[in-house]
Amino acid sequence: MAGPVNRSVLTRLGIVAGLLVSANAGAQCLFDQFNEIVNPFAPGCGDVRFTYTENDVSGLNIALGFPPPLPVASLTAVDGFREYASLHMQHQALMMANTDEVAGSIVGQTLSGQDIWAYRLGDTANQLTVDGLPEPAVMVNTGTHPREWQTPEASTELFETLIENKADGGVGQYLAENLNVVILPVLNIDAFIQTQNFPLNVTAHRAQPRDGRMRRKNLRNPVSLDLVDADLTTVGDNFWGVDLNRNNASGFGLNNGSWGQGRETSLIFRSLGVASEPEILALQNGAALGPEDRLRMYTDIHAFTQIYFTPLTGNTRRDNITVALMNRMRLASPRIYRDGRDGPNEVGNQGIGTTADYFAYTYQIPSWTLETEPLNGAQDYGGTSTHGHSGFILPDSQVARMRDDITGMLWLGFYRQAAPPRIQAVQISEAATGNIVYAASWVSAGGNNRTLSVTNSSAMVPGGDYRLWLAFNKPMRFRNSIGNIIRYQGQTVDGATGSARLELPTVAGEPTVSIPINTASAWLNQPGGAPNGYLRYADDAVVADFTIPANLSISSAVPAVLAISNLDFSVAALDADPATAVDWSNGAWINYEDQFGVAGDIGGVDCTLQIFVAPDSGDPAPADTAVCAAAVVPPPPPPPSGGGGGSLGWLLGLLLMMIGWSFTGNGPGNRR
């Protein structure tokens, strides 16, 4: 697989979302070395109007190779694109019909006075997880660039899917009960309506069309500061506007200023001041719905080139988490989106003024510009590629699949960022009688602390047959439409993932009993709780039978421990110590511990469940506890044989390792 493709590389190649293209496509517009039109108001440039057609290339026609999409008046999804009024009515209808799960807010107004809405989806009553802790939040913004009709359709599908699955008993319900999802479906409303008012027409140049269907900027007149008149015959208006994806504080006017960000007629004009545009202020207000201090992920959806442009802030832990999450999400599309993380020279340079840069640097959360399909242009769907902007027009026939594709990637990201997996409850019962031998669950002890509440704890005996029921805090497996456990698209976890061992480290030979939780049939998708149903969500619990070896040679009660290793379907490992609730701060996880009790970002093996085996089921528990093999810290290597110089060298090496550890610890914000 090819390596990362960073923003600076694509910029130099002139293919950033089709913005910078060759100037050899006719008309009289003149371009400089940065592909900026230098004579926008000259006759034969700004006053030229082109028409999109299916096949007609005569005159000022531009053939797409498929019927040009037209906006449709429909609340529900169609094979194509909905007009803005219909999209907005659908958002409002979903809000009014689902008041327990959706709270809508007007977060600002456009230059024309249109209300900009953002919606918070989750359980609106208390914004607490099922554990009673403040819910984390994620945010999705679309419609920044109005010509990218794909993006409001994608966020609306996401909105609809979250509502449709809010009580599905599985992942949808888990997200509804444990995560705030903030969606701002159309940011640049004025200009989006402008593109839909002229769905077949563009102005200026085939290679860099401006107003009408291909408007990128908002409707700001940078000279008068008023609204442009939206009339394609007004040549000046065709070039005015502010690129909202260059108007943000992080990287404002930096790193690619030579492209023309400061030129008023530039396609990427940033405006004269940071966050000068009401749409950007509305976006910032929308973040407060999270609220801001609970945000864990931000996605700004754009088109096209099929890539995650991912800012890296220089916060090592945050950047590592971001890249890992981005890789999980981009593989969750059958089209396999590209890795667009910042290059080495871009890390920590504040970016280029995009909304993703703003959220990355302001909140230190995973953040990206998600560029949808196509990878190349209309030719990806059998159309023509007679100009560099054909990729902004997705054929009607591809829209439904695109919506599902984007939703699938975001769904996985939400699931992963909501919380790492952890053990919630356990029960061991006699296989024949159902008598409970051991039962425990993690309960709140106030704040971010939990305690293991053990309600049953009696001895297992050699030769005894038992059933283990083990429940987690979230659905751990993914099922297809016919109910079979499969790998989520692009992931590696399935029914065969995971292990459970009963370990007896104080018994001679340190015997272990493998408990077969690594089968698809072990996972429970029917309610009922222990011992044969899931706890709260389908596939949050697994059940398996096991036997204590009959030849186990013990004369008194001995401690045992369950060593549980598992991954959720986004390939995240267990929080190995549920006694402290995992949270997020300064770009990294807190209280996400491994089996050694070390907090970090990857988790480990849970060894917290202490049980015991005795000759008789009525024997009392032993005084000591067991340490699982995974939690035993390996001893340091022995010093090399030979003279004292060798021993001194080993000590010096150990000292250097300790110094190295002090600079590469797990504290938030550490750099390497």
Query: What pLDDT, in 10s, does the model give residues 455-477?
Result: 999 999 999 999 999 999 999 99
Q: Give the type of residue at 540.
A: D
**Residues 409, 372 contacting (CB under 8 angstroms):** no
Are β-strands 115-121 and 338-341 bridged in parallel, bridged antiparallel, or unpaired? Answer: unpaired
Q: Which H or E element spans position 486?
A: strand 485-486
Tell me, what's the pLDDT at 269?
94
Q: Convert the pLDDT of each residue in 223-241 to its tens digit.
A: 899 999 989 999 988 999 9
Rg (CA), the chain: 29
b/e for 7-34, b at 16 or more Cβ within 10 A? bbebbeeebbbbbbbebebebebebeee
pLDDT greater than 80 at residue 583: yes
Tell me, what's the pLDDT at 16?
39
Spacing of C-alpha 19 from chain mean position? 26
pLDDT greater than 70 at residue 452: yes
**Residues 606, 576 contacting (CB under 8 angstroms):** yes
Tell me, what's the pLDDT at 163?
98
Helices (H), 508-605: none
Residue whose pair of structure tokens reads 């902007």 in the numeric block: 389
CA distance 383 to 395: 9
Q: How confident is the model at residue 555 (pLDDT cuts 50, 70, 90)?
A: very high
Tell me, what's the pLDDT at 34?
85
Distant-in-sequence contacts of 85-94, Cβ < 8 A, 24+ apart: 87/152, 87/153, 87/156, 87/185, 87/186, 88/117, 88/186, 90/156, 90/160, 91/117, 91/119, 91/156, 91/159, 91/185, 92/117, 94/119, 94/159, 94/160, 94/163
- On the question of a cis peptide bond just before residue 222, with omega within 30 degrees of 0, the verdict is no
Tell me, what's the pLDDT at 642?
54
Residue whose pair of structure tokens reads 């667009």 in the numeric block: 340
Q: How confident is the model at residue 386 (pLDDT cuts 50, 70, 90)?
A: confident
Are β-strands 499-503 and 295-303 bridged in parallel, bridged antiparallel, or unpaired? Answer: unpaired
- On the question of a cis peptide bond just before residue 291, with omega within 30 degrees of 0, the verdict is yes
Tell me, what's the pLDDT at 5?
64
Q: Give the type of residue at 619.
A: D
CA distance 200 to 307: 27
Mean pLDDT of 268-280: 94
CB proximity list for 1: less than 8 A, separation 6 or greater:
none
Q: Give the type of residue at 262.
A: G
Q: Convert the pLDDT of each residue in 79-118 to its tens digit.
A: 999 999 999 999 999 999 999 999 999 999 999 999 999 9
Return the DSSP state at 49: E
CB proximity list for 210: less than 8 A, separation 6 or greater:
46, 202, 203, 204, 216, 238, 239, 267
Closest CA to 343 of 2, 14, 7: 7
Token representation of residue 108: 């600002």
Residue whose pair of structure tokens reads 């327990």 in the numeric block: 100
Main-chain dihedrals φ then ψ at residue 586, nearest 5 degrees: 50, 40
pLDDT greater than 60 at residue 6: no
Q: Which H or E element spans position 453?
A: strand 450-457
Distances in Å between the Cα of 289 and the Cα atoms of 105, 120, 222, 284 are 9, 7, 31, 10
Token representation of residue 151: 């993006």
In this prediction the pTM is: 0.91
Domain boundaries, the chain: 1-216+276-418, 423-631, 644-672
- On the question of a cis peptide bond just before residue 269, with omega within 30 degrees of 0, the verdict is no
Q: Angle, nearest 10°, between helix axes 396-418 and 171-178?
A: 60
Q: Convert the pLDDT of each residue in 312-353 to its tens digit.
A: 999 999 999 999 999 999 999 999 899 999 999 999 999 999
pLDDT greater than 60 at residue 670: no
CA distance 295 to 585: 10
Work out the end-to-end distance of the chain between its first and last CA atoms, rounded to an integer number of angstroms: 26
Tell me, what's the pLDDT at 304?
95
Helices (H), 139-298: 150-164, 171-178, 189-197, 235-239, 278-287
Q: Angle, nearest 10°, between helix axes 396-418 and 150-164?
A: 50
Q: How confident is the model at residue 272 (pLDDT cuts 50, 70, 90)?
A: confident
CB proximity list for 96: less than 8 A, separation 6 or greater:
none
For domain 1-216+276-418, the question of CATH label 3.40.630.10 is answered with: yes
Q: Convert the pLDDT of each residue in 106-115 to its tens digit.
A: 999 999 999 9
Closest CA to 476 of 417, 533, 525: 525
**Residues 310, 359 contacting (CB under 8 angstroms):** no
